[in-house]
């Protein structure tokens, strides 16, 4: 068995049953004028991880392993958007409002799209999710079962919200989860640090944490 160097201990790779999940690397979270910036966040923290996310994606593609992308977005009629989510925090731009990149976090709008540098290629799965976790109200669970996936590598944003939520959902469903440390980020550095500590605590209670280089080397 190949083991990938990780914390709190080596990750036991199942080479034929692993997939990469890239969480919400969307324009609305990473570009000026998007939803993330409207909440007062420094989006440059997100764009700085693009090279590492890209390396990870290319590593999985080169190894012939599945790459799954997620996008947080809602239906144009907002029927899958709870009012509590839309109104919370009183942002300057609410989900569904018209912004510089179209309607905020609405399926099909320019701002909702995945960053060009990380865009899916033909054959890669794209999950549109209305919640923070990628299993809620999506076909992700069925897709993973059909493909015999047992392990998931995670990257994307933000570490403490959509990434950690999806890792916890996956953990509860029996998947072994590995977070690529340089390929995830938060608008708040202390939140990323805390999330990583929570994920790997108590013998990888949620999952493992490893480096992009070690993950690419392990799957190659």
Residues labelled catalytic: 24, 129, 162
Number of neighbours of residue 131 by Cβ within 10 angstroms:
18
Residue located via tokens 């399926």: 107
> Can you give the length of the chain in residues?
220
Nearest to 137 by CA among 128, 145, 146: 128
Q: Is 57 helix (H, G, I), strand (E, B) or coil?
A: helix
Query: Roughly how many angstroms between the first and final C-alpha of the chain, as a whole number?
Result: 14
Tokens of 169: 């959902």
Q: How far apart are CA 79 and CA 209, in angstroms?
A: 36
Yes or no: say if 155 and 53 are a contact pair by the CB < 8 Å rule. yes
Structure tokens at 7: 């914390």
């Amino acid at each position: 068995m190949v083991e990938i160097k990780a914390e709190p201990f080596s990750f036991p790779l199942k080479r034929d049953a692993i997939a990469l999940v890239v969480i919400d690397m969307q324009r609305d979270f990473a570009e000026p004028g998007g939803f993330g910036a409207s909440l007062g966040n420094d989006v440059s923290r997100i764009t700085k991880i693009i090279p590492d996310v890209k390396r990870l994606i290319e590593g999985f593609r080169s190894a012939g392993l599945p790459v799954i992308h997620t996008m947080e977005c809602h239906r144009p009629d907002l029927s899958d958007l709870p009012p509590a989510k839309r109104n919370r925090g009183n942002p300057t731009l609410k989900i569904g409002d018209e912004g510089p990149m179209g309607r905020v976090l609405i399926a099909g709008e320019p701002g909702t799209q995945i960053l060009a540098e990380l865009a899916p290629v033909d054959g890669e799965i794209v999950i549109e999710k209305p919640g923070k976790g990628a299993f809620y109200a999506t076909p992700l669970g069925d897709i993973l079962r059909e493909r015999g996936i047992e392990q998931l590598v995670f990257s994307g944003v933000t570490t403490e919200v959509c990434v950690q939520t999806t890792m916890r959902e996956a953990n509860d469903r029996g998947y072994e989860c590995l977070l690529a440390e340089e390929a995830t980020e938060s608008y708040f550095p202390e939140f990323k640090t805390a999330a990583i500590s929570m994920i790997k605590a108590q013998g990888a209670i949620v999952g493992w944490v490893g480096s992009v280089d070690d993950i690419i080397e392990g799957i190659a």
